[in-house]
Amino acid sequence: MPSIDEIEKPIGEECGVFGVWAPGEDVAKLTYYGLYALQHRGQEAAGMAVSDGAATVVYKELGLVAQVFDEAILGTMKGHLAIGHTRYSTTGSCTWENAQPSFRTLPTGGSLALGHNGNLTNTSDLARRVRELGVGRDAMGATNDSDLIAALLAANADTSLEEAARQTLPTLVGAFSLVFMDEHTLYAARDPQGVRPLVLGKIESGWVVASETAALDIVGATIVREIEPGEIIAIDEHGPRSSRFAEARPKGCLFEYVYLARPDTTIAGQSVYTTRVQVGRTLAFEAPADADLVIPVPESGTPAAIGYAEQSGIPYGQGLVKNAYVGRTFIQPSQTIRQLGIRLKLNPLRDVVKGKRLVVVDDSIVRGNTQRALVRMLREAGAAEVHVRISSPPVTDPCFYGIDFASKGELIASSLTVEEICATIGADSLAFVSLDGLTAASAQAADRLCRACFTGDYPIPVPEQDLIGKHVLEGLQRTASGDPGGSHPDEALVGSQGGADALIQP
Tell me, yes or no, whether 242 lies in a domain. yes
385: domain CATH number? 3.40.50.2020
Q: Do both 225 and 333 map to the same domain?
A: no
Tell me, yes or no, whether 114 lies in a domain. yes
Q: Do both 336 and 445 map to the same domain?
A: yes
Q: Do both 230 and 360 map to the same domain?
A: no
Q: 453 catalytic, yes or no?
A: no
Tell me, yes or no, whether 437 lies in a domain. yes
Decide: 347 and 321 in contact? Cβ < 8 Å.
yes
From the candidates 15, 399, 450, 453, which is the catalytic residue?
15
Q: Do both 300 and 383 map to the same domain?
A: yes
- Cβ partners under 8 Å of residue 436, min gap 6: none
Q: How far apart are CA 270 and CA 450, in angstroms?
A: 16
Q: What one-letter code names the amino acid at 47?
A: G
354 φ/ψ angles, rounded to the nearest 5 degrees: -60, 125
Tens digits of residue pLDDT in 165-188: 999 999 999 999 999 999 999 999
Q: For 260, which DSSP code?
A: I
Q: How far apart are CA 371 and CA 422, in angstroms?
A: 10
Tell me, yes or no, whether 96 lies in a domain. yes
Determine the pLDDT at residue 332. 53
Q: Do both 238 and 312 map to the same domain?
A: no
Decide: 405 and 366 in contact? Cβ < 8 Å.
yes
Q: Where are the alpha helices (DSSP H) in 318-431?
A: 335-340, 350-353, 369-380, 418-425
Determine the pLDDT at residue 94. 61
- Which residues does residue 447 pair with via DSSP β-bridges, in sequence order? none
Q: Among 401, 21, 489, which Cα is nearest to 237's?
A: 21
Q: What is the β-pairing status of strands 174-181 and 111-120? A: antiparallel
Tell me, yes or no, whether 468 lies in a domain. no
Other Cβ atoms less than 10 A from the Cβ of 361: the count is 30
Peptide bond into 299 cis (omega under 30): yes
Q: Do both 168 and 288 map to the same domain?
A: no
Q: Do both 26 and 109 map to the same domain?
A: yes
Decide: 403 and 410 in contact? Cβ < 8 Å.
no
Q: Do both 277 and 240 map to the same domain?
A: no
Tell me, yes or no, whether 317 lies in a domain. yes
Tens digits of residue pLDDT in 385-437: 999 999 999 999 999 998 877 688 889 999 999 999 999 999 999 999 999 99
Q: Do both 315 and 373 map to the same domain?
A: yes
- Which residues does residue 119 pair with via DSSP β-bridges, in sequence order? 175
Q: Residue 401: which domain range?
A: 271-455
- Classified as helix, coil or strand, 346 is strand
Q: How far apart are CA 273 and CA 161, in angstroms?
A: 38
Q: How far apart are CA 51 and CA 83, in angstroms?
A: 9
Per residue, the 3-state secondary structure of 129-148, as one string, reads: HHHHHCCCCCCCCCCCHHHH
Q: What one-letter code names the amino acid at 32?
A: Y
Q: Do both 232 and 276 map to the same domain?
A: no
Q: What is the β-pairing status of strands 15-21 and 81-87? A: antiparallel
Q: Among 407, 467, 465, 406, which Cα is nearest to 145's?
A: 467
Q: How many domains does the chain have?
A: 2
Neighbouring C-alpha atoms within 13 Å toward the C-beta of 424:
16
Q: Do both 129 and 179 map to the same domain?
A: yes
- Cβ partners under 8 Å of residue 410, min gap 6: 366, 367
Q: For 193, which DSSP code?
A: T
Tell me, yes or no, whether 215 lies in a domain. yes
Which stretches of the chain score pLDDT less than 50?
1-10, 12, 91-92, 138-139, 328-330, 466-467, 470-506
Q: What Cα–Cα distance (Å) separates residue 496 from each residue in 12, 78, 157, 172?
A: 32, 18, 21, 28
- Which residues does residue 385 pair with via DSSP β-bridges, in sequence order? 357
Quote the pTM value.
Answer: 0.87
72: domain CATH number? 3.60.20.10
Tell me, yes or no, whether 499 lies in a domain. yes
Decide: 46 and 85 in contact? Cβ < 8 Å.
yes
**Exposed e or buried b per residue across 152-185, where buried means at least 16 C-beta atoms within 10 angstroms of its C-beta:** bbbbbeeeebeebbbebbeebbbbbbbbbbbbeb
Q: Among 112, 115, 137, which Cα is nearest to 126's?
A: 137
Q: Do both 178 and 97 map to the same domain?
A: yes
